[in-house]
Amino acid sequence: MTTLAFCPACGATAERAAPFQCADCSTWHYANPRPCAGALVERDGRVLLLKRAFEPWLGHWDIPGGFCEDGEHPADGARREVREETGLDIELVGLLGMWMDTYLDDDPPITTLNVYYLGRPIDDRELTIDTDEASAFEWFGPDDPVEPIGFPTHFPGVLDAWRAIRSGAQPQVLPYDERFPTDTR
């Protein structure tokens, strides 16, 4: 439950849990999940993971991704985040799914809706990690242990979905279709 001390619109004292309408300016405030997007980038049957260079989960393995920008479609956010963090341009080949989580370094923690895609590099360019984002990278196979793992509430489920696809237990990912518009601005 998110409690606001002040109305972000007018600055009036609030001390209320969202959702609420400000008594001074009538603006409604909600505590909605924040959208995040990422991609399991696959090459030669292995996926790319990054070791986080900041909290939360400093030094833990994570999927390239992050918060979507205002009005940004998760598919565009996933491609942008992978490019920013690794220097790779990717094509999205499928939607792995969506997972809920909380981002623990905020007080109170914020709820996130995490959308993950399966992606492949467009070319053979070398990886160049953004050292503000990651301290290392590694390609992991389906049977490779991933430890320590960041965001343990949802990350294992994303890996399990990918492993199920690779093992044939799940026939395929939901196809990603470029015909659907992603730029809604």
Dump pLDDT digits (tens) for 52-86. Answer: 999 999 999 999 999 999 999 999 999 999 999 99
Written as six digits, the tokens of 89 are: 């341009």
Q: What pLDDT score does 182 carry?
A: 53
Q: For residue 174, what is the DSSP state?
A: B
> pLDDT value at position 115?
96
Q: Which of 50, 65, 62 is nearest to 117 (CA)?
A: 65
Q: What is the pLDDT of residue 78?
A: 98
Q: What is the pTM of this model?
A: 0.83
Of residues 48, 80, 79, 75, the one with CA closest to residue 146 = 48
Using the structure block, give the residue that is written with the tokens 């990054």: 50
**Cβ within 8 Å of residue 20, ≥6 positions away:** 4, 14, 28, 29
Question: What is the model's pLDDT at position 53?
Answer: 97
Looking at residue 123, its pLDDT comes to 92
Residue 4 near residue 18, CB atoms below 8 Å = yes
Tokens 């900041």 correspond to 54
Q: What is the pLDDT of residue 3?
A: 77
All residue ranges of the chain with pLDDT < 50 are: 184-185
What is the DSSP track for 26-52? --EE--PPEEEEEEEEEETTEEEEEEE
Q: Domains in the chain and their CATH numbers?
A: 1-31 (no CATH), 34-167 (3.90.79.10)
Quick one: pLDDT at residue 107? Answer: 67
